Amino acid sequence: MAIRVNLITGRTIQQGVAMEAGKEKPAYATACGIIELDPTDFKKLGAFRNTNVRVTSEHGSVVVKAVEATQGPHPGVAYIPMGPWANMVVNPNTYSTGMPTFKGTPVEVEVAKDEPVYSSLELVRKACRGELA
């Protein structure tokens, strides 16, 4: 079962700390390779907390771990902390302002239990070489 939600991105303190500790470290993927979903959206998705999910938009696709919203409730809105995972799916159009549309991308979320969440360097490397599924 796939659900449709409105995706926003942004900073979290965990993202900031993990980023300064080193983006090559696993802690960075733990902090940013996630999607925060509202409990009601979890129900609709029919998934447990901490399940890997595939997030797909018109612009791309990425596998991240679904966790419960830490700053909720926000039904219908999903949150991926800023970073390479979010940037696989955000709307890159700037509409002549220079600014990609990082907030407000419609995405589809589906369970992808057996697919891995890559580390930041792996994700970018694989995507650049066209090695992602």
Partner 1 sequence: MTKTVTDVICPFCGTLCDDLEVVVSDDGKQLLEVYNACAIGAEKFLHSQAKDRITRPRMRQEDGTWKEITYDEAVEYTANMLADAKKPLMYGWSSTNCEAQAVGAEIGEAVGAVMDNTATVCHGTSLIAVQDIGIPSCTLGEVKNRADRVLFWGCNPAHAHPRHMSRYSIFPRGFFTGKGHTGRKVIVVDPRPTDTASLADIHLQIEQGHDYELFDALRVAFKGEKLPDVVAGIPKEKIYEVAETLKSGRFAIIFFGMGVTQSIGKNHNIDAAIAVTRDLNEYTKAAIMPMRGHYNVTGSGQVWGWQFGFPFAVDLSRGFARYNPGETTSNDLLRRDEVDAVFVLGSDPGAHFPFNSVKKIYDLPSVVIDPHETPTSEVCKVHVPVAFVGVEIGGCAYRMDNVPIETRKVVDAPEGMMTDEEFLTRVLARVKELKGV
Contact positions vs partner 1 (CB under 8 A): 6, 8, 10-13, 15-17, 19-24, 59-60, 69, 71-74, 77, 79, 82-84, 87-88, 90-92, 94-104, 120-121, 123-125, 127-128
Of the pair 1, 128, the CB lying nearest partner 1 is at 128
Report the Cα–Cα distance between both ends of the chain, in Å, rounded.
20
- Closest contact distance (angstroms) between CB of 17 and partner 1 is 5
What residues does 7 pair with on adjacent strands?
78, 105
> Could you give phi then psi for residue 123, rounded to 5 degrees?
-60, -50
| Nearest-approach distance from CB 108 to partner 1, in angstroms | 17
Question: What's the burial of 60, exposed, middle or buried (CB within 10 Å: 0-12/13-18/19+)?
Answer: middle
Give CA–CA dist 114/133, Å, rounded.
13
Give the nearest distance from C-beta 85 to partner 1 in angstroms.
Answer: 9
Report the residue number, 16 or 46, with the smaller CB distance to partner 1.
16
